[in-house]
Amino acid sequence: MIVLRKIKFIISKLVHIYYKLTYKLIPIDDKLVVFISFHGRGYSDNPKAIYEAMIKDETFQDYQFIWFIKNHKKKNITIPKGKIVEYNTIKYFYYMSKAKYWIINCKMPIYMIKKNNQIYLQTWHGTPLKHLGHDIEVPEGTTFYRSGMSYDEMTNTYDVDVARYNYMISPNKFCTEVFQSAFQINRERLIETGYPRNDFITNATNEEIINIKNRLNIPLNKKIVLYAPTWRDNSYVASGYTFELKADFKKWKEILGDEYVLIFKPHYLIVNHFKNDDSLNGFLYSIDADAEINELYVISDILVTDYSSVFFDYAVLNRPIYFYMYDLEEYSDALRGFYLDIYTDLPGHIYEDETKMLQDIKENVYDNQRLEAFNQRFNNQQDGHCAQKVIDIVFNEVSL
């Protein structure tokens, strides 16, 4: 295994060297657009929403679209009107050198090179609750990620990528301010359009909702609670971040009763898996971490989360959100800190006591006025046409 890793490492380094020597020789195709979502994990998020709007637009009927996806043959992914190329291969570097447009939702590696006449749209992937990039305040000597980067090394990975951006999407005024400090990006490159991925949330029909429930074998006559916790910065193993589940799903079933079912979806960075208990069959539905969460939003009646930014998107639905933060003291003091005052700015109450939260869910205890104020601040751009706004700016040079 160690020998194999060394061989892969050497091959990777050789490919990177070859790329640096040859990328200038590859002419740019003005009608080639490439897409990357979460480092090639799949066909999802803001890039997917932009892509699906583009293929419906006659303006782009003679464009070529390429998605870079890891292990795409095993995943059996098909993308209408798009070509799939394996992520991080020689073809990947070739098309990255050739494409006029890059549409990407994640930080790209330092070794990637963008030509001056290529257009890089960074869509990003969430409104942050936790501090990001340059805004993270930590003691001297703190390291980041599994690689053990220093603070300066970590912020440099952002700086190198941000320097390549032509545009970066901001979903709201809050992010427009935060991104300027966290990413050290100038205001001129931020386009405040709302997130394209939320067009689906805004526009989903009852027929689409029923079809999703049927595909996931979820009862049509039950209320659905979606539990979507995030990863913890300080909990990881060699292969990725871990998460110690503190939710007692048997208690959830006991308190919520037959009226509810529970969908559990962990963050995609979490590497440990959770086995279903047979006694929870018919109540608990564990969904793969790589699943499209937008579909889970629209079919659920209630969201339970912790420090994940998922609540920013879910709030568009105007449905109750509960915050289960059992490790609040440890998380807020020892880790990255928050941009918001979580006690006054969140669209729901914080619970450290699981039983109390479940009882409030059961009894429909929720302050809708908090949610309304939250949406006025954070979701005022979500009008169902965000993808088109982005396309008009990036491809049609329309000013906001």
- Indicate the SS3 state at residue 330: helix
- Exposure string of 243-264, with b = 16+ CB inside 10 Å and e = fewer, is beeebebeebbebbeeebbbbb
| pTM of this structure | 0.88
Q: Is 145 helix (H, G, I), strand (E, B) or coil?
A: coil
Q: Residue 372: what pLDDT? A: 96
Q: Are 196 and 46 in contact (CB under 8 A)?
A: yes
116's CB contacts (< 8 A; 6+ apart) are none
Integer Cα distance of 384 and 202 in angstroms: 5
**Ramachandran area for residue 99 (φ above 0: left; ψ -120 to 50: alpha; else beta):** beta
Question: According to the model, what pLDDT value does residue 338 have?
Answer: 86
Burial of 205 (0-12, 13-18, 19+ CB in 10 A): exposed
| Ranges in the chain, pLDDT < 50 | 232-242, 268-273, 334-335
Tokens of 123: 């869509």
Q: Using CB atoms within 10 A of its CB, is residue 272 exposed (0-12), middle (13-18) or buried (19+)?
A: middle
Could you tell me the two tokens for 344?
Answer: 């006054």
Which residue bears the tokens 């400090």?
181
3-state secondary structure of 233: coil
Q: Extract the runs of DSSP E, i.e. beta strands, from 223-379.
A: 223-227, 236-237, 240-241, 260-264, 284-286, 302-305, 321-324, 350-351
Is the Cβ–Cβ distance between 289 and 266 less than 8 Å? yes
65-123 confidence digits (pLDDT tens): 999 999 998 998 999 999 999 999 999 999 999 999 999 999 999 999 999 999 999 99
Count CA within 13 A, CB hemisphere, residue 58: 0
Q: How far is CA 96 from CA 32, 65, 264, in A?
A: 10, 12, 36
pLDDT of residue 348: 97
Q: How many CB atoms lie within 10 A of CB 54?
A: 24
pLDDT in the model for residue 287: 85
